[in-house]
Structure 1
Amino acid sequence: MRPRFGHTELPEEQAHALAKAIRLERITLLVTVGTITLVLLVAGSSQAMKAAWIEDSLALLPPLAFLIAARFIRRRPTARRPYGYHRAIGVAHLVSGVALLVMGLYLIVDSGHGLVAGDHPPIGVMVVFGTPIWQGWLMVGVMSVVAVPPIILGRMKLKLAPLLHDKVLYADAQMNKADWMTALATIAGVLGIGMGLWWADGAAAILVSVDIIRDGWNNLRDAVRDLMDSRATTHDGAGPDPLPQDVVNTLLAATWVDEAEARARDLGHVLHIEAFVVPVDGGLPPLAEVTALRERCIGLDWRIQDLVLSVVEELPDELLPQLNGAGPHDE
């Protein structure tokens, strides 16, 4: 049986995309655990390596959040949960954002203190199979290797996120981008120490911390907006979700509709839409026509979990901020 979102069964393309996303997140967990182990083995006293290790550890959060949320969202609505469990996506998004932001702030304070204090991180020599090797080369080698999987996994997730309208999956793809950028910054910091630039390690750690803070803030901001029922946006938060306007266009195409507007509540993968129509000449249409129009709107896209259609005398401006020119991210 294919997964269900509320009372809506996923179309075949989205069902395959969800299954693929779950496989990718499981692979991501395995790769990240391996990365954490390798980085820990060669980290030494380098601030940049410490920051990279912590960011790699934090990279476990988005895939874990996605996999946990994916189990909840397939549950059917109940009397106690009439809107279903789709908000699990928003909760997972919020948890990831808070964890990233808090750890990023800790790292930037810790790394900045070391830089101001003038700490010179020692990078010693390790004996590998009886041969003494400067530990910095091992750090560079490990970070070069671990930078590759996030590039591949991130690009694959970016292709799936729009299909599923999944903000957690998109955030994880952005985290993968941060991972390989962190690896490059860490390599630069370690090589800087080798060249006698003691401050390069701390500077690289601060650069990594800033990137963690940026990811954390963006995820926290978007998660809070969705949970507060701000205007629905696209999966990447770049602008308003076009689906409510598609619903309005469909409503206006009906011969008995004079004016129409709609607003949407983003529940995660799916939307709950409230639509308002003013009939021509104020006359009440037959119930069959109202029902047919509602079904036509629901059939526009699999993401419309439900739609409430209200026939009113005039559009309720105070309930529709888009009528007053509010932007997609206005609070």
Structure 2
Amino acid sequence: MSLRIPPEIEPDLRRAIRLEWWTLAWLASIVAVMGLTAGASQAMRTAWIEDMLSMVPAIVFLVAVRIEHRPPTRLFPFGFQRANSIAFLISAVALAAVGAMLLFESGMTLLKAEHATIPPVTLFGATFWSGWLMVAALLYSVVPPVILGHMKLPVARRLQDKVLHTDSLMQKADWMTGVAGVGGVVGLGLGLWWADAAAAMLIALSILRDGVNALRIATAELADGAPRALDSDELAEDAQALIGLLRRHYPDADIRLRETGRFIHAQVVCAAADAPLDLKGAWPAEPERGWRLAQLSFVPPALDGRA
């Protein structure tokens, strides 16, 4: 099994790396701006913390992509392809944590009936409501995530990279937090004390749902589950096609697939394979995605442990 980067995905992988570095740069500037203008607003504080947590998927992606194609070692004889799976789990936990944090903080604020106020501020000799600074910071925090999240989705699909896909969901959480935060700050300015926390709560359920779904897929992958779709817990389409092809060739065999990072490993448990397929011949989906099948092995039932 080759551990090098498949040439079919090298351009997309380089693009993904550039996008993640751009993400970290933009998020660092957003965190700085949000921290300077947060004040007493619940939506601003939660958006600031959420922006810091949203750096996690980009960081773990960049770390994993440097590790996953390293050659096997004595202590890691199967290589490091699961680095991407571990990064996916960390990203899923971060996304779920953002949703849970937003839900808890906003819920506690509503239960306590906290009446936050936004005082005036003097800047360059002019005195004005500091809420306008908060709104400007929130609007600034919306634009980069919208653009970056939109750019990452097609790359994530071509790479079958769940870490990058989760990061695009995190970008979605970023801009949703910003938009809801604007509504919360304006609501405070209009005297609606509950608007600030309600705005944060509205987005929390959506983010938490995405995070929990990603967490289920990541857990299944690390538990050697069958390959899942990029955005759901259902079996991936190319995995279904591969199972169908192998069953046609080996009707009496037990066909098993598992996923390590972006790659599929297939195992055919049968008494004999008179004409074993090669990797290229076994791939039933789009030819340009044939790199997905990293290993096809044949195992006698006696060695399988179920005989």
TM-score range normalised by the length of the shorter chain:
0.7 to 0.9
Q: Which residue of 1 aligns with 2:265?
A: 272
Equivalences for residues 320-331 of structure 1 within 5 A: none
The one of 207, 210, 217 equivalent to 2:205 is: 210
CA distance in 1, matches of 2:170, 2:238: 27
CA distance in 2, matches of 1:278, 1:243: 26
Q: Which residue of 2 aligns with 1:19?
A: 14
**C-alpha distance after superposition, 1:188-208 (max 9, x if no partner):** 111111111111011112224
**C-alpha distance after superposition, 1:103-158 (max 9, x if no partner):** 54344333322222221111011222211121111111111122111111111110
Which structure has the bigger radius of gyration? 1
CA distance in 2, matches of 1:228, 1:54: 31
Q: Which residue of 2 aligns with 1:294?
A: 278
| Structure 1, 208-217 or 118-127: larger mean CA deviation | 208-217
3-state SS of 1:264 partner: strand
Q: Which residue of 1 aligns with 2:294?
A: 305
Q: CA deviation at 1:247?
A: 3.5
Q: Where do 5+ consecutive residues of structure 2 fail to align?
A: 285-289
**C-alpha distance after superposition, 1:283-330 (max 9, x if no partner):** x73xxx33xx234445661111111124669xx9x89xxxxxxxxxxx
Over the matched positions of the two proteins, sequence identity in percent amounts to 39
Equivalences for residues 124-135 of structure 1 within 5 A: 124-135=119-130
Contact preservation (8 Å) 2:279, 2:295: no
| Structure 1, 68-77 or 216-225: larger mean CA deviation | 216-225
Q: Which residue of 1 aligns with 2:28?
A: 33
How many equivalent pairs are there? 300
Task: Give RMSD over aligned pairs.
Answer: 2.5
TM-score, length-scaled by structure 2: 0.88
Equivalences for residues 111-126 of structure 1 within 5 A: 111-126=106-121
CA distance in 2, matches of 1:224, 1:135: 44
Contact preservation (8 Å) 2:5, 2:69: no
Could you list the runs of 4 or more consecutive aligned residues of structure 1 that deviate by over 6 angstroms after TM superposition?
Answer: none
Q: Which residue of 1 aligns with 2:56?
A: 61
The one of 125, 142, 150 equivalent to 1:155 is: 150
Contact preservation (8 Å) 1:51, 1:209: no
Q: Which residue of 2 aligns with 1:262?
A: 255
Q: CA deviation at 1:101?
A: 3.2
CA distance in 2, matches of 1:47, 1:188: 12
- Return the letter of the residue paired with 1:50: R
Q: CA deviation at 1:212?
A: 3.9
The verdict on how the C-alpha distance between 1:53 and 1:295 changes in structure 2, with shifts beyond 3 A counting, is closer
Contact preservation (8 Å) 2:247, 2:255: no
Contact preservation (8 Å) 1:69, 1:88: yes
